[in-house]
Structure 1
Amino acid sequence: MEVNGTGQPSPTSSGQEKTSLSSLTENFDNFLLLLTQQLKHQDPLSPLDTNQFTEQLVQFAGVEQSISTNNKLDQLIAFNSNNQAISALAFLNTTVEVDSDQIWLAEGGESEILYGLPQDAAETTITILDASGKPVRVESGSTTVGEHSFVWDGTDNDGVALPEGVYSIQITAVDSKGESVEVGTGTVGTVEGVQMRNGQLMLTIGDLEVPANSVLGVRNKSDA
C-alpha cells in the first residue's frame, strides 16, 4: 500500500512560483540599491524633492509587502494541501463509490459498475472495453429511471476470464423515440492509496486512479 500525500504544490507550479518570487525579490533589492545610491550621491545644494522621495518610499514599501504576501500565500497553499492530504487518508481501506468511466478488475475478481438514468429508457447497453479500446463484454442494462449497478464477473462475451487491469465502460441508452438518454457512470472499489499528482489529490483503486473529489459515497463494510 502506497501513501504519498505530500501536500506539496506540483513541480511545475512550484517552479513558476519560485521564479516569480525570485524576480520580485531581485527587483526589490535593485530598488533598494538604487534608492540608497541616489541618497548617497544627491547634490547637497539640490536635495531630492520631498514628494518624489515620499513616492519612492511608498513604492519601496509596496514591493516589500508584495514579497511578504507571496510568502504567506505559499505557506497557506502548502498548509491547505497538507490538510487535504491528511483528510484524504481517511479513505484508505474503505469501499467508495466514485464517478468514473473506468473500472478496476483484480485478478480472478469482479468489478461493480454504477450507472444512473434521468428518465426511463427503451434500451440500455453496457459495453466494457479493454486498454486498446476493444469491446470485450456487452450486456443489456436496466431501463427504468434511477440508480443501477451491474456486477461484471471479469469474463468476455465467450465466458473467458480476462486479465486484471483498468477497463473502460460505455453505457448508452435511448428512449422510445430512439433519442439518446444521458447516462452517468461510476464504479465501486477499495481505496489502497492516496497521493498528490499535479496538485490534485488522487485515490488509487488497484491500478485505477480517481480524483478524491469524484467520490460519490462511502459504503459500510456490511454493504461492500
Structure 2
Amino acid sequence: MEITQITPAANQPKKDASTALQGLGNDLDTFLTMLTTQLKNQDPTNPLDTHQMTAQLVQFASVEQQIAQNKNLEDLVKLQNQNSEYAAVNYLGHNVQAEIDVADVSEDGASWGYVLDMPANTVDLHVVNSSGMRVYSTEGETGAGVRHSIEWDALDNNGNPVEPGRYKLLVIARDAQGSIIDGKPTIDSLGMVTAVKSNKTGPSLIVGQDTEVTLSQIKKIQ
C-alpha cells in the first residue's frame, strides 16, 4: 500500500520564510491526517511501506531546516539594511562627491569633476539641460589619471543666468588627429544631501532637489 505524497510548501514557488513555514506546518498536518487514515484502513495483506513513510518525514524535516536557514538570512538582510539606513542618515546636510554626471543647478551654480583614462590633446566640456541642449561650453584639462574640477556659475555662453534645474556634464576628449578617444571619462558632481530614501535594495541619498544616488556612488564627503 502506497503513502499519498504531500509536496512541502518550501518546494513550491518562492515565498518568504514565515509564509513557507506556515505552509509547511499545514502540509505536515495534512500528511499526518492522511497517514493516520491509511494506517487505520490498511490492508493486512498489503501493509504500508514504512520506508516511504520515513522518507517523507525526513523530507519534511529537511525542508523545515532549510526554511529556518532562510529565515535567518532574511533577518540578516533586514539588519544590514537597517544599519545602512542609519549610516545614510549621517550624510544629511553634508556636501558629497558622487559618481554621477548630473547636478541640480541653482543660482549658485554647480561643481563637477572628471578623470580621463588616457591623456588627450584637447578636452571639450559641455553643460546640457534636461532637453539635451548645450547651454555652456568650455575647454578642459587634458591630463590622465587625476581629477580635474569644473566650477560653473550657472551662466550660459552669452552670460545669461540659466533656469534652475538638472544639468548634465559632457566630457569629450580628442587625440592629436581630432578623433574622440575611446574610453569613458569618470565624472562626478558635488552637492548637498537633503534627504534619505528607503528602498528594498537599501537606502539611497537625495542630493540637491531630487538627484538620487546610492551609497556606493559616494566617493567623498565634505
TM-score norm. by structure 2 comes to 0.81
The letter of the residue matching 1:99 is E
Q: Is the 8 A contact 2:24 2:64 kept in 1?
A: no
The separation in 1 between residues aligned to 2:129 and 2:217, in whole angstroms, is 22
Give the structure 2 partner of residue 186 of structure 1.
188
Give the structure 2 partner of residue 125 of structure 1.
124
Equivalent residues in 2 for 1:128-167, closer than 5 Å:
128-145=127-144, 146-167=146-167
Equivalent residues in 2 for 1:87-106, closer than 5 Å:
87-106=87-106
Q: What do you get for the CA RMSD once the two structures are aligned?
A: 2.3
Q: Is the 8 A contact 1:88 1:212 kept in 2?
A: yes
Give the structure 2 partner of residue 202 of structure 1.
204
The separation in 2 between residues aligned to 1:198 and 1:137, in whole angstroms, is 38
TM-score norm. by structure 1 comes to 0.81
- 1:193 shift after superposition: 1.4
Gaps spanning 5+ residues in structure 2: where?
Answer: 1-12
- 1:21 shift after superposition: 6.0
The letter of the residue matching 2:192 is T
Give the structure 2 partner of residue 37 of structure 1.
34
The separation in 2 between residues aligned to 1:172 and 1:115, in whole angstroms, is 11
Q: Is the 8 A contact 1:101 1:185 kept in 2?
A: yes
Between 204-213 and 45-54, the greater mean CA deviation after superposition: 45-54
The separation in 2 between residues aligned to 1:198 and 1:129, in whole angstroms, is 32
- 1:38 shift after superposition: 1.5
Q: Secondary structure at the match of 1:96?
A: strand
Gaps spanning 5+ residues in structure 1: where?
Answer: 1-15, 220-224
Equivalent residues in 2 for 1:17-32, closer than 5 Å:
18=15, 22=19, 25-26=22-23, 28-32=25-29
The separation in 2 between residues aligned to 1:17 and 1:197, in whole angstroms, is 21
The separation in 2 between residues aligned to 1:198 and 1:125, in whole angstroms, is 39
Q: Secondary structure at the match of 1:103?
A: strand
Q: Kindly tell me the number of residue pairs found equivalent between the two proteins.
A: 203
The letter of the residue matching 1:91 is Y
Equivalent residues in 2 for 1:43-122, closer than 5 Å:
43=42, 45=44, 46-106=46-106, 108-122=107-121
Identify which of structures 1 and 2 has the higher relative contact order when contacts are C-alpha pairs closer than 8 Å and 6+ apart: 1
Identity of aligned residues (%): 28
